[in-house]
Every structure is written in structure tokens, then in C-alpha cells.
């Protein structure tokens, strides 16, 4: 089943996209809340934006690299082994300046 697309009012699109509390002045925020109470399309879009924000905030944190990106081997220098190659797993891992990257 295809979801129907909801289009907000053109005049309120910028205000609906505001995600940080400081993005709107108190009077702009009050005007938006008043508009949302009377416009089902904009209220639906506002709810969708809030759901997207909540899902993004629920994502697990990104772990930083254990080495600096400049230490990674240049693209195209990796050797890709086949599963049938008789090479120990240790040698399949990339090395940078004598250090094993895991």
C-alpha cells in the first residue's frame, strides 16, 4: 500500500523545519503552534519531523576510529583475498606502519 504524501503550507515550511529551540523567536513559535492547531497537513508534517528527530537521537553513538584517517592505506592498495586462499586470518587484516588494525 502506498502512503499518501502530505504537503505542508508553503508559507510555514521553513518554520516547520526548525528543530532547535533557538531557531524561532517566541512570537514565531507561538504563531506556528497556533497554525498547527488549525492546519491538519502542517500538524501531520510537524509530527513526522518530530518522529524523525526522535529516531535519529535514538541511534547508537558512532565510535571514533582507533587511528587517524591519514594512517589508513591509500585506496586501491588493499589486497582482496578469496575465501579459498590459504592465508592466515592475521594477514588478511590491514597493517599500518607495523601496527595491526582491527
Total-model pTM: 0.56
User: Is residue 3 included in any domain, yes or no?
Assistant: no
User: Is residue 35 included in any domain, yes or no?
Assistant: yes
Q: What does the pLDDT look like over 27-43, one tens digit per residue?
A: 998 999 999 999 999 99
Calculate mean pLDDT across residues 81-92. Answer: 51
Judging by DSSP bridges, how do beta strands 99-100 and 95-96 pair with one another? antiparallel
User: Is residue 63 included in any domain, yes or no?
Assistant: no
Q: What does the pLDDT look like over 1-13, one tens digit per residue?
A: 456 688 888 889 8
Q: Which range of residues forms the domain containing residue 28? A: 10-57
User: Is residue 34 included in any domain, yes or no?
Assistant: yes
Q: Calculate what percentage of the chain has a pLDDT beyond 90.
A: 28
* Nearest in space to 67 (alpha carbons), one of 46, 44, 23, 98: 98
User: Is residue 24 included in any domain, yes or no?
Assistant: yes
User: Is residue 79 included in any domain, yes or no?
Assistant: no
Give the chain's domain count: 1
Beta bridge partners of 100: 95
Helix axes 26-38, 40-57, angle to 10 degrees: 120
User: Is residue 1 included in any domain, yes or no?
Assistant: no
User: Is residue 84 included in any domain, yes or no?
Assistant: no
* Contact status, residue 49 vs residue 16, Cβ threshold 8 Å: yes
Amino acid at each position: 500500500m502506498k502512503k499518501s504524501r502530505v504537503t505542508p503550507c508553503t508559507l510555514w515550511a521553513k518554520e516547520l523545519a526548525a528543530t532547535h529551540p533557538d531557531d524561532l523567536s517566541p512570537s514565531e513559535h507561538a504563531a506556528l503552534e497556533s497554525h498547527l492547531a488549525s492546519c491538519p497537513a502542517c500538524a501531520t508534517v510537524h509530527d513526522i519531523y518530530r518522529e524523525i528527530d526522535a529516531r535519529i537521537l535514538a541511534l547508537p553513538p558512532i565510535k571514533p576510529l582507533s587511528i587517524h584517517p591519514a594512517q589508513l592505506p591509500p585506496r586501491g592498495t588493499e589486497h582482496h583475498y578469496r575465501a579459498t586462499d590459504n592465508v592466515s586470518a592475521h594477514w588478511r587484516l590491514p597493517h599500518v606502519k607495523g601496527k595491526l588494525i582491527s
